[in-house]
Amino acid sequence: MMALSFSKESEERITKLLPKYPDKMAACLPVLWIAQDEFGWVSDDAMRLVAERLDLSLAHVYGVATFYTMYNKKRVGHYHVQVCTNVACMLNDAYDVMGSFERELGIKRGQTTEDGLFTLCEVECLAACGGAVCVQVNKDYHEKVRAEDVGAFVKKLRAAVTPDSAKAAGTIEAKG
Binding site for ligand FES (CB under 6 A): 84, 86-89, 125-129, 132, 134
Of 39, 35, 18, 15, give the one whose Cα is nearest residue 27. 18
Nearer to ligand FES, 14 or 126 (CB): 126
CB of 144 to ligand FES, least distance (A): 11
Strand order from edge to edge, sheet including 79-84: 118-123, 79-84, 135-137, 140-142
Q: At what angle do helices 150-159 and 94-105 cross, to 10 degrees?
A: 50
Q: How far apart are CA 175 and CA 167, in angstroms?
A: 11
Of 35, 33, 36, 31, give the one whose Cα is nearest residue 15. 31
CB of 153 to ligand FES, least distance (A): 17
CB of 141 to ligand FES, least distance (A): 9
Amino acid, res. 70: M
What is the CB neighbour count within 10 angstroms for residue 62?
18
Nearer to ligand FES, 89 or 161 (CB): 89
CB of 159 to ligand FES, least distance (A): 26
Nearer to ligand FES, 91 or 168 (CB): 91
Amino acid, res. 95: Y
Nearer to ligand FES, 54 or 128 (CB): 128
Cβ(127)–Cβ(171) under 8 Å? Answer: no
CB of 95 to ligand FES, least distance (A): 12
Nearer to ligand FES, 84 or 121 (CB): 84
CB of 87 to ligand FES, least distance (A): 5
Cβ(8)–Cβ(52) under 8 Å? Answer: no
Nearer to ligand FES, 125 or 174 (CB): 125
